C-alpha cells in the first residue's frame, strides 16, 4: 500500500468519477494529492471526503492562462511534482451535421488545448523521474456514431503520448495513457439527454461491450496507480486499453 509513498500528485478533474477514485487510491498508496475541478459543490464535497491534507484547486481545464496558476499553486504547496494524471474532460455526442464551431472548440479546449498547456506550465517543477498519465478513450479507436469530435480530441491525446514521450524522456518524464471504454461515472449524465434517452443511450453503448457491462472508476484508477508508480519505470509512450473488449470489435 506504499507504491506512491512520498510522491506528489496532481489529478485534474479530481472531484468526481475516475478522478476522485484515483485520488482515493493515490492517498491509500501514500501520495500527497492535489485535485482540480470547476463545480463549487463537488470541490467542497471532495475536500470533505479526501481530507484537509489534499490540495483542492478550482480551475477550468480549458483556460490556458489558468494552467500557470495551477502550476503556481502546486509549487507553493508541494515544491514540485512527481505525478500528473490528466483526467479532466468532456464528452459530447452529436451527429456531424449538428456541430457548430463553438461546440467543436469547447471540446478541443477542454480535452486537448488546456491539458497541453498544463503540461507545459508544469515542466519546470516536474521531478526526474516523473510520470504523466493521460485519460484518453476507446472512442479514438472505434467508429461509434455521433462521437466524431469527442473521438478526435482523444486521438489527439493519444498522439501526444508518443510525441511528448520522445521529447521528454531524456528529462526523466514518462508519458502513458489509459483508454477506458464506457465507465459508470457522472460524465454520461452531462451529455444533455433526458433521463429516458440517457438510459436508452447507456443500453446501446453497453451492447457494444463484449464484457456486457460498464467499467467502474476503481478499475481505471488501479491502472493509473500502476503507471504512476515506479513499477512502470520501463513503460513509456504506452496506451493501456480498459474497455471490456470494446476496442476489439
Measured CA to CA, the distance from residue 157 to residue 151 in angstroms comes to: 10
DSSP assignment letter at 240: E
Measured CA to CA, the distance from residue 146 to residue 139 in angstroms comes to: 10
As beta bridge partners, residue 132 has 84, 175
Contact in structure between 143 and 122 (CB atoms under 8 Å): no
Query: Omega into 129 within 30° of 0, i.e. cis?
Result: yes
C-alpha cell at position 66: 489558468
DSSP assignment letter at 216: -
32-37 and 173-180: which strand pairing? unpaired
Measured CA to CA, the distance from residue 204 to residue 129 in angstroms comes to: 42
Neighbours of 36 (CB within 10 A): 28
As beta bridge partners, residue 10 has 34, 84
Q: Secondary structure of the chain: what % helix, strand, coil (to 5)?
A: 50, 20, 30
Instruction: Judge whether 116 counts as a catalytic residue.
Output: no
Which of 116, 150, 188, 234 is an active site residue?
150
Annotated catalytic residues are 150
Amino acid at each position: 500500500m506504499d507504491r506512491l509513498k512520498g510522491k506528489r500528485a496532481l489529478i485534474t478533474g479530481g472531484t468526481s468519477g475516475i478522478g476522485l477514485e484515483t485520488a482515493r487510491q493515490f492517498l491509500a498508496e501514500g501520495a500527497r494529492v492535489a485535485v482540480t475541478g470547476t463545480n463549487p459543490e463537488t470541490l467542497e464535497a471532495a475536500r470533505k471526503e479526501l481530507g484537509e491534507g489534499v490540495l483542492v484547486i478550482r480551475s477550468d481545464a480549458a483556460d490556458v492562462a489558468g494552467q500557470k496558476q495551477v502550476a503556481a499553486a502546486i509549487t507553493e504547496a508541494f515544491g514540485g511534482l512527481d505525478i500528473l494524471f490528466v483526467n479532466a474532460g468532456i464528452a459530447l455526442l452529436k451527429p456531424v451535421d449538428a456541430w457548430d464551431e463553438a461546440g467543436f472548440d469547447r471540446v478541443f479546449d477542454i480535452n486537448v488545448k488546456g491539458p497541453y498547456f498544463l503540461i507545459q506550465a508544469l515542466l519546470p517543477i516536474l521531478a526526474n523521474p516523473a510520470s504523466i498519465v493521460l485519460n484518453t478513450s476507446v472512442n479514438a479507436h472505434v467508429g461509434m456514431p455521433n462521437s466524431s469530435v469527442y473521438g478526435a480530441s482523444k486521438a489527439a491525446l493519444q498522439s501526444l503520448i508518443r510525441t511528448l514521450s520522445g521529447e521528454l524522456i531524456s528529462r526523466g518524464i514518462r508519458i502513458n495513457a489509459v483508454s477506458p471504454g464506457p465507465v459508470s461515472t457522472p460524465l454520461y449524465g452531462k451529455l444533455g439527454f433526458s433521463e429516458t434517452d440517457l438510459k436508452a443511450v447507456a443500453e446501446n453503448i453497453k451492447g457494444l461491450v463484449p464484457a456486457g457491462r460498464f467499467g467502474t472508476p476503481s478499475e481505471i484508477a488501479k491502472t493509473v496507480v500502476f503507471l504512476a508508480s515506479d513499477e512502470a519505470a520501463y513503460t513509456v509512450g504506452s496506451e493501456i486499453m480498459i474497455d471490456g473488449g470494446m476496442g476489439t470489435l
